Amino acid sequence: MIKFPQDFFFGSATSATQSEGAGDIFGKSPNIWDYWYEIEPYKFHEKIGPRDTSNFYFDYKENAEFLAKTGHNSFRTSISWSRLIPRLDGKVNKAAVKFYRDYFKSIKDKGIKLFINFFHFDMPLYLQEIGGWANREVVARYVDFCVKSFELFDEYIDYYFTFNEPIVHVECGYLSQYHYPMEVDPKKAVQVAFNTQLASSSAIKALKEKGLSKKIGIILNLTPAYPRSDNENDLRAGKIADLFFQKSFLDPSVLGAYPKDLVKIIKKEGLMPDFSKEDLAIIRENRVDFLGVNYYQPLRVKENPYVYKDDAIFSPNKYYLDYDMPGKKINPYRGWEIYPKALYDIAINLRDNYNNIPWLVSENGMGVEDEDRFRKNGRIEDDYRIDFMKDHLRYLSKAMDEGANCKGYQVWTFIDNWSWLNAYKNRYGLVEYDLKSGQRRIKKSGYFFKDLAENKGFDD
């Protein structure tokens, strides 16, 4: 039997934009996803946009029933910034207050612990128009949003997160064009990363000053960089990839300072952001209480043997290249490698190098296309998803036996939801959602998850 502690969190995560629907009504103003869909709908799989999601805005009560039916003792979502504060005047939208209170209460009434995150890739458009995270003013606006959310909803919230995967809006928004504003501007990317970290630390400071008694953390996609070989060039490539993609938020959030080697590279490349000594003090003095770790796939790297032109646009790939390892196990629908042992490696890294900080798996899951193929007697028999969870849980349990301080396992996701540019291509849910009829049906994995959560483990 693979067994977890009695108080282990079993649950799932989603985000406001991916699950609420009601994108342009009840006082919500557009965020960058609503806007991007409006101007370039063809970029989104089958032209399905952020209004067509699993409809929590209307169905939260029914969804709370399904959370209970699938054994959840915890659930994470985010508060939509552009729903709560729809305009530059900073005024709170009363309809949003009522919605979130009722929604959160319906979850709490089921005895489910609520984890709330403040930012999940969803910058309000009116703030993107003044520069988004590149503009310092947005840091202050974000802190105000967090404080207002705390004042309005704290009675329902058990745990807080400042950001979900902050490296993603940096990389996708300002280097690789997978998120709006689709810029390629490394200098701005570094400023955005710094301002985001400052926003996270400043929110922690402000909430603690307001008397926050609950734990607050940050969710990071800690994808270890595995070098192709033991050759020192490959090893160096791995170290540098880790600096950019793991340590850039992990170190300041948990240890209170940026890694020196990262700062050296940023300086050498002429990409240093604007900041003050006071900013660094805020980061140093306001560290997270715990971490959420999203894990889907490892990052495999090798040396970059090519020379960059002197005036080439900077990319982290100057220092390493992605390595397509032959024979790797892959989820073909998402194109992501499946490598459960990385969860063990993450756990040991946090134990040994990050003061054994408490953490939980805050996302792990498998998106699969056309799950209708697997339907038998009306139910989707998603054994692949059950195997995926078991494979990761085995490694998690092994790490915990060796002292890792993990407190829970939350999957992505509870009910099929909207996956950004992939829209509804790949389905991740424990519960199936029929976009046309709105009907929900628990998949085989949902029943497995219920047993897992109730027994705090599974027979192996």
Residues 18-77 interacting with ligand BGP (rule: CB under 6 A): 18
CA distance 236 to 230: 10
Question: CA distances (Å), 410 to each of 8, 19, 428, in order?
Answer: 10, 16, 13
Q: CB of 413 within 8 A of CB of 362?
A: no
| Residue number, 221 or 397, with CB nearest to ligand BGP | 221
Both structure tokens of 360? 């939980």
Binding characters for ligand BGP, 325-344, by CB under 6 A (x = yes): ---------x----------
| Residue number, 18 or 106, with CB nearest to ligand BGP | 18
Residue for token digits 């805050």?
Answer: 362
294 scored as a contact of ligand BGP (CB under 6 A) = yes
180 scored as a contact of ligand BGP (CB under 6 A) = no
Residues 140-179 interacting with ligand BGP (rule: CB under 6 A): 164-165
| Residue number, 286 or 419, with CB nearest to ligand BGP | 419
What 3-state class would DSSP assign to 32? helix
Widest CA span in the chain? 64
CA distance 302 to 234: 5
Question: What is the secondary structure of 283-345 as a DSSP string?
Answer: HHH---SEEEEE-S--EEEE---SPPPTTPPP-GGGT-EE---TT--EETTTTEE--THHHHH
367 scored as a contact of ligand BGP (CB under 6 A) = yes
364 scored as a contact of ligand BGP (CB under 6 A) = no
Cβ atoms within 10 A of the Cβ of 223, count? Answer: 22
With contacts defined by CB under 6 A, how many residues of the chain interact with ligand BGP? 14
Q: Which of 20, 171, 363, 371 is catalytic?
A: 363
349 scored as a contact of ligand BGP (CB under 6 A) = no
CA distance 450 to 159: 22
78 scored as a contact of ligand BGP (CB under 6 A) = no
| Residue number, 223 or 397, with CB nearest to ligand BGP | 223
Residue for token digits 């027994």?
Answer: 455
297 scored as a contact of ligand BGP (CB under 6 A) = no
454 a catalytic residue: no
197 scored as a contact of ligand BGP (CB under 6 A) = no
| Residue number, 223 or 304, with CB nearest to ligand BGP | 223
223 scored as a contact of ligand BGP (CB under 6 A) = no
By annotation, the residues acting in catalysis are: 165, 363
By the criterion CB under 6 A, which residues form the site for ligand BGP? 15, 18, 164-165, 221, 294, 334, 363, 367, 412, 419-420, 422, 426
